[in-house]
């Protein structure tokens, strides 16, 4: 029963995503096949759904919007200075998060925040390209890591 519930839930979410991506005009055989294949791949790759805290997800949304706005203003200010004073670098940042879904969400979050881009990583770290290494980038990554851990109910060491 749990598998059927997971398939239905994932199919509904993927169908909603397909509908958004096609601007509401995606009700077709291609859409149905795509959603079905994506749901099957999802179940094959992640058979057990992770418990996700909806309240933590709401907190994450507020966190993400606030950090995006702040980082966007910082990047715009850097770009508009008459003399660019950037200090780009690739930083190795150790991670405490374990598991593929939490780490994937953390990487996607960092990629969407202005001024940071995950360019690689390993078992216990991420390689993050930053526009200004003088900023407290590791603190920002730690804050995002804590938010993601809350969503998945993971205790960080």
- Interval 55-70: pLDDT, tens: 888 899 999 999 989 9
- Interval 96-151: pLDDT, tens: 998 888 898 899 999 988 889 999 988 889 999 998 888 899 999 999 999 999 98
Rounded CA separation 106/42 (Å) = 19
Banded model confidence at residue 90, pLDDT cuts 50, 70, 90: very high
Report CA-CA distances (Å) from 72 to 68, 78, 93.
Answer: 6, 10, 22
> Taking the model in full, what pTM does it have?
0.70
Q: What is the CA radius of gyration of the chain?
A: 19
Rounded CA separation 55/67 (Å) = 18
Q: Where are the alpha helices (DSSP H) in the chain?
A: 2-21, 29-45, 54-80, 100-112, 137-152
pLDDT > 90 fraction of the chain, expressed in percent and rounded: 31
Contact of 93 with 125, CB cutoff 8 Å: yes
Rounded CA separation 93/124 (Å) = 9
């Amino acid at each position: 029963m749990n598998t059927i519930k997971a398939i239905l839930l994932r199919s509904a979410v993927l169908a909603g995503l397909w509908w958004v991506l096609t601007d509401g005009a995606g009700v077709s055989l291609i859409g149905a096949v795509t959603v079905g294949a994506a749901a099957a791949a999802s179940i094959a790759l992640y058979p057990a759904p992770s418990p996700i805290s909806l309240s933590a997800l709401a907190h994450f949304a507020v966190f993400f919007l606030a950090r995006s706005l702040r980082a966007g203003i910082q990047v715009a200010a850097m770009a508009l200075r008459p003399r660019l004073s950037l200090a780009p670098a690739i930083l190795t940042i150790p991670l405490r998060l374990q598991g593929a879904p939490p780490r994937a969400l953390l990487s996607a979050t960092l990629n969407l925040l202005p001024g940071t881009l995950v360019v690689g990583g390993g078992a216990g770290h991420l390689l993050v390209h930053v526009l200004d290494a003088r900023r407290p980038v590791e603190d920002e990554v730690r804050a995002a890591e804590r938010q993601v851990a809350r969503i998945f109910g993971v205790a960080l060491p």
